Amino acid sequence: MLIVPEREIADLMTREAAFDAVEKVFAAMASGDAYNFPVVREAIGHEDALYGFKGGFDRAGLTLGLKAGGYWPNNLEKRGLINHQSTVFLFDPDTGKASAMVGGNLLTALRTAAASSVSIKHLAREDAKVIGMIGAGHQAKFQLRAALEQRDFEKVIGWNLHPEMLPNLQEVADEAGVPFEVVELDGMVEADVIISITSSFDAILGADQVSPGTHIACMGTDTKGKQEVDPQLLVKADVFTDEVAQSISIGEAQHAVAQGLIVETDIAQIGAVINGTNPGRISDDQITLFDGTGVGLQDLAVAAAVVDLAVEKGIAIEVDF
Ligand code: NAD
């Protein structure tokens, strides 16, 4: 069995490798070659922790495994550790033997950013120039950094409930040499691409705050009850997702579906666009919305990629198991 510790991931994994892995696995999901197992998420009654597993099997990439982990809210204050903790375990699909254990913390951020980037590549207008960010936390930086590579963006605009976090976006925009401006939510009409990545439980972005032709990636809503946009926006938009079952239960579409505004069959898999079986964007004034709920197969795909890179560089730790 191979071990790739968390400390090695930053030097091994690239945004490009994460993008390729996620794009491939989304395609495999849409063609029926890969599927996710039901998600387990439990409040364990200890340290206020939320713990769970996300797993799946990709028959095309021969990747079988799970990500185990969750959220320990007291970690930082009590122990100086980050609150989100996860580890990916891979298994040999031919034998069931454990094949790898990989640090999952940085990989989670990279695979989540890769998902919105894949949606931008396949659904945003080619001439998109302004990217709008709603959210300015840990994930927002990864999201923006990856998204800026997908189009020739000339400006970043940002809004966040907690304005003191906005310098996070400024930092990434500066890195890329793109001007950054703080806006009110009404200012989002200027954006050609919008990413929302917050922990909100109420709609932030209104349906009238999005211009025709915009692509929106809703990335924060990954749990029942969370919400980032007005459900009417999902009526106005063509809706795509990583996995329809998650989109309607824990993703942004849960609200529009619960209110009877849209139905499950209104939502398409992004993998179908990648595979060419769904046309995706068909006009310049269409609004497209990607509901990125985060699936276990994304974690397995990036973990498998990092194991390959670690083996190539002679960094993977081999243990007899
Ligand atoms: P973070 O704590 O670093 O940042 C939280 C962000 O949400 C900040 O911008 C904060 O201002 C904003 N926020 C907090 N409460 C809010 C409220 N009530 N209304 C509006 N905004 C609010 O968190 P993070 O690590 O950046 O994660 C952001 C979100 O992304 C979380 O909800 C997390 O569960 C989700 N997430 C999704 C995926 C996925 O695959 N879809 C993966 C990882 C994380």
**Per-residue model confidence as pLDDT tens digits over 200-224:** 999 999 999 999 999 999 999 999 9
224: number of CA atoms within 13 Å, CB side?
6
Taking all residues of the chain, what is their mean pLDDT, rounded to a whole number? Answer: 97
DSSP H helical ranges for 214-269? 231-236, 244-249, 253-258
Minimal-distance CA residue to ligand 1 atom 36? 220
Using DSSP's 3-state secondary structure scheme, residue 143 falls into helix
Residue 109 Cβ inside 6 Å of ligand 1? The answer reads no
Cβ–ligand 1 contact at 250 (below 6 Å): no
pLDDT at res. 74: 95
The SS3 of residue 57 is strand
Mean pLDDT of 38-51: 95
Residue nearest ligand 1's atom 4 by CA: 137
Quick: pLDDT tens for 46-91: 999 999 999 999 999 999 999 999 999 999 999 999 899 999 999 9
* pTM for the structure as a whole: 0.97
Q: What number is the average pLDDT over the span 253-261?
A: 98
Separation of CA 307 and ligand 1 centre (Å): 28
Residue 137 has what pLDDT? 94
* Amino acid found at 5: P
Tell me the pLDDT tens digit for each residue of 85-129: 999 999 999 999 999 999 999 999 999 999 999 999 999 999 999
Give the whole-angstrom CA distance, residue 186 versus residue 119. Answer: 24
Residue 321: pLDDT above 90? no
CB of 200 closer than 6 angstroms to any ligand 1 atom: yes
105 lines ligand 1 (CB under 6 A): no
Distance 99 CA to ligand 1 centre (A): 32
Give the position of tokens 């970043």: 156
Ligand 1 mean position to 200 CA, how many Å? 7
Quote the CA–CA distance of 307 and 273 in Å, as a whole number: 28
Q: What is the pLDDT of residues 10-20, one digit of tens each?
A: 999 999 999 99
- pLDDT per residue over 292-311, tens digit each? 999 999 999 999 999 999 99
Six-digit token string for 316: 């993977």
The residue contributing the CA closest to ligand 1 atom 6 is 198
Distance 147 CA to ligand 1 centre (A): 17
* 116 alpha carbon, distance to own chain's centre: 6
